[in-house]
Amino acid sequence: MEDKSKVRLTSAEMATLWSQYFNDSLSICVQRYFLEKVEDEEVRPVIEFTLHTSETNVAFLGDLFEKENFPTPIGFTEEDVDVSAPRLFSDTFVLMYLRQMSILAMTASSAALGVVTRADIVDFHKSVFKAAVKLQDMARDIMLKQGTYIKPPYISVPEKVDFIEKQSFLTGFLGKKRPLTAIEITHLFLNIQTNTIGKALMVGFAQVAMREEVKDYIIRGKRIAQKHIENFNDFLLKEDLPAPMTWDSDVTNSTQKVFSDKLIMFHASGMIAAGIGNYGMALAASPRRDLGLKYASLIPEITLYAEDGANIMINEGWMEEPPQNIDRDHLAKRKKNF
């Protein structure tokens, strides 16, 4: 009978834990810098909570990796951030950024809970999800209080339950276009919001990046984000619906190094990966053909951008290799050579 106290980690558990370590080690660097610069005393507890959560997660994961004889990733350390550097982002933006990170954390931890098996790993991801929900609540409450929370657009309440009767519901190129559904509006709003946050991050990162290759890559990402914002805004504005505000003005004019180029590239890659996932969900939930085609046309662009970023990180020796299956053919060939 299998010893339940020595159950091996599955590939899914390795993947989720490995990814979580990277995300939390990056978060520690970012939160330490934010905590050093924060001036708004209402925002300070939110940063402190996020930092404490990430430090707790990294400590748990470090112990777990040691017990499992699993190599602990290098991730990010104090060498990847200069907390003494001048302020780069406003406290208002930091709060919006943390709220967005809580959404990504809820998405990742809920996905992890669907594939992990071992009881201690399940409990860990539950705690990650619970902390992400709390962070979302904290950030939302303060933003509502300070008047900086941007709600999705309001639309009229349906008069009755109805059913789709014509295929014209799916059209979007020729003839009269039907109004956007509440689901389509929500995805447009969220994708504009994530792009505006991403663009503001890119603006700040471009100012403090050291290598020209990294700087050029981040500037390219800023331009892609702006283009996508304009595309999505166009759908809302044509129906007299408001679009989310931009955050560019919440970036200071500082050019002194804050984060390492490695951290900047990894953070940009994480945002791009989240964007690809968001576009995929929006595409599946947007039956109007012109809108669906727009998402389909934008996904390859950011996928190629992500690949170019991966190549930069590989060339610089920044990309740690995730856990992989054994290459059986390689082992067989090695044996023949002895």
Handedness of CA 1, 15, 19, 123 (dihedral sign): negative
pLDDT digits (tens, 9 = 90+) for 282-295: 999 888 888 999 99
Q: Report the SS3 class of residue 180.
A: coil
Residues with Cβ < 8 Å from 163, sequence gap 6 or more? Answer: none
Residue 169: pLDDT band (50, 70, 90) is low
Residue 77: pLDDT band (50, 70, 90) is very high
Mean pLDDT of 96-119: 95
The CA-CA-CA angle for residues 19, 22, 23, to 5°, reads 85
The CA-CA-CA angle for residues 287, 291, 297, to 5°, reads 115
- For the chain, residues classed under CATH 1.20.1260.10 are 10-146, 169-316
- Alpha helices, DSSP H, located in the chain: 11-37, 44-67, 91-113, 119-146, 182-208, 212-237, 261-284, 289-316, 328-337
Mean pLDDT of 224-239: 94
Quick check: 55 and 159 in contact, CB under 8 A?
A: no
Residue 323: pLDDT above 90? no
pLDDT digits (tens, 9 = 90+) for 294-311: 999 999 999 999 999 999
- Among the residue ranges 37-41, 131-135, 223-227, 249-253, the one predicted with the least confidence is 249-253
For residue 22, the one-letter residue type is F
Q: What's residue 328's pLDDT?
A: 66
As given in the structure block, the two tokens for residue 128 are 């990650």
- Among the residue ranges 77-81, 96-100, 171-175, 249-253, the one predicted with the least confidence is 171-175
Q: What's residue 124's pLDDT?
A: 98
Q: Is the pTM of this model over 0.75?
A: yes
pLDDT digits (tens, 9 = 90+) for 182-206: 999 999 999 999 999 999 999 999 9
Quick check: 109 and 1 in contact, CB under 8 A?
A: no
Element (H, E) at 52: helix 44-67
Q: What's residue 222's pLDDT?
A: 95
Mean pLDDT of 19-40: 97
For residue 180, the one-letter residue type is L
Residue 223: pLDDT above 80? yes
CATH topology of domain 10-146: Ferritin (1.20.1260)
Average pLDDT, the chain: 90
For the domain covering 169-316, report its CATH number. Answer: 1.20.1260.10
Q: Which residues share a beta bridge with 81?
A: 259
Largest CA distance in the chain: 78
